[in-house]
Amino acid sequence: MNENLVKLIKLAQGNRSQNIFSMQCEVNAATLTKIIKEERKPSPDTLKKLANKAQNGVTYKDLMIAAGHWDEEEAIYDSMLPDNNLSIGERIKRLRLKHGLTQEQLSEKLNLKKTDISKYESDNDEPGLDILKLLAEIFNVSVDYLLWLTNDPTPPEKKETKPMLGKAPVFVTLQRLQNQSEKLSDKERERMDRKLKTMFDEYFPEDDEE
C-alpha cells in the first residue's frame, strides 16, 4: 500500500485521537488501525467516510488516488468537464468513478467483459436498453440521464410528480426534444436518433406483417 495514504489519513485525522476520528467517521476502530498499519486496503466507502470528516483539506479524491482506486488521469478527467457537456460514455465513466468502481468491477456487476466497459466509456460502442437499465440501477440514476436526455439524475420513482394540466407526458417530452435538438451537433443528433429508435422499438414493437 502507498505510504502516502497513511500520511494522508494522519493528516485528515488532525489533532484528534485515532479513536475519536474513527468514531466521528463511523469507521470501526480496529479497521482503521489495520489500514494505518498497512494490513488492510480501505474500500471506497470507507475512504468516503474518512473524507467526510477530514481536516487539513484532505479530499476523497486524494484518498482514492493514494489507495490505488483511481489513477491521476481518472481523477483529473472526473473534474475537468461540466456534467451537461458529457457524452453517454463520459457520463458512464464519471458515474463509475464517483461510485469508486474499476472497469473490471463494473463489468462483473453487468456480467460483461472489461473491454465492453472500455468501449462504452470511449464511445466506441453503445449499451443497449437492458444494460442502460442495469447501469441506472447500479448508479441510482434515471435512464434518461444516461441517454443525455436530461441533466437531472434523479430516478423516476424518487421524483415528485406534478399534474400535467391535461398534457400527456410523452408529448411534452417530444416537444422538449424538438426544441432542444436545434442546439445539438449533427453527430449528437445522430446519436440521439439511434437511442430514441432503440427505445421506441422496445416499447412500441411493430406488428408482424400477416
**What was the pLDDT predicted at 103?**
85
**What was the pLDDT predicted at 210?**
40
Question: H/E element holding 143?
Answer: helix 143-146
Residue 170: CB partners within 8 Å, gap ≥ 6? none
Splitting the chain (210 residues) into consecutive groups of 10 residues, what average pLDDT does each group show?
A: 81 92 93 91 88 85 80 50 64 81 88 91 86 91 79 65 41 56 70 72 56
Torsions phi, psi for 171 (to 5 deg): -75, -35
Rg, the chain, Cα only: 21
Q: How far apart are CA 129 and CA 147, in angstroms?
A: 10
> Cell digits for 48?
468516503
**What is the pTM (predicted TM-score) of this model?**
0.44
Domains (range + CATH), the chain: 3-67 (1.10.260.40), 82-158 (1.10.260.40), 169-203 (no CATH)
Q: How far apart are CA 54 and CA 109, in angstroms?
A: 31
**What was the pLDDT predicted at 93?**
83
**What was the pLDDT predicted at 176?**
56
In contact, 66 and 4? CB cutoff 8 Å: yes
**What was the pLDDT predicted at 23?**
94
Chain position carrying cell 470507507: 46
Q: How far apart are CA 13 and CA 41, in angstroms?
A: 18
3-class SS shares of the chain: helix, strand, coil, % to 5: 65, 0, 35
